[in-house]
Structure 1
Amino acid sequence: MKVRLNRKQFEYLSHNFIKDHLNLDLKVIQDNEFTIIKINNDIADEIRDWAGEELQKKGFEENYNLNKEGDILESLIDIFYIG
């Protein structure tokens, strides 16, 4: 599976997921605006599940609107959805 992430999405994923999973089998291709990563479906599922849990923990303001972190997490959930 190939996914394209913008700078904010890739930085968030790198600092919050990839750093704790250094043994991931992923290939990273960067250009000026986007980062393309190649991963298998199992890793995509794991990232999507992780992002869903993080969204529930720290993605909302007091009145249940998405905060900035929630926006990024929600976009990662959508990107790593396997249909």
Structure 2
Amino acid sequence: MSDEKHSVVRLSGREAMYLRNAAFLPDELARIVRDAKDGEGSGMSIPLSSETSERFREVLTDHLAKVGFDDAYEPTNEGKVLEALIDRFYMK
């Protein structure tokens, strides 16, 4: 039996739609999103291990660095969604 910590990440409808359409996600993470259970208000709940949660955070942070800021280093609309997702996937 593993001591791996598991948690459920709950996403808003906007966040869920963003991840469902995120072509930058590696196959293993895209599969997790595709298989996730839809929740209330078109959101979703994703059960994750802390390792997988951290993997999501890494991928989202890398993408944020590429597309998340305008020329004045202010967050773009996509950047704001990415920042919120990075926070959602944080596990203590």
Q: How many residues align?
A: 82
Distance across 1 between alignment mates of 2:64 and 2:18: 13
Please say which structure displays the higher CA radius of gyration. Answer: 2
In structure 1, the partner of 2:14 is: 8
Are residues 1:32 and 2:52 paired?
Answer: no
Are residues 1:72 and 2:81 paired?
Answer: yes
Distance across 2 between alignment mates of 1:23 and 1:55: 21
The normalised TM-score by structure 1 is: 0.83
- How far is the alpha carbon of 1:23 from its aligned partner? 4.9
Q: Is the 8 A contact 2:20 2:33 kept in 1?
A: no
Q: Structure 1 stretches of 5 or more lacking a match?
A: none
Q: CA RMSD in A?
A: 2.2
The normalised TM-score by structure 2 is: 0.76
Query: After TM superposition, which residue ranges in structure 1, 4 or more long, deviate above 6 angstroms?
Result: none
- How far is the alpha carbon of 1:32 from its aligned partner? 3.4
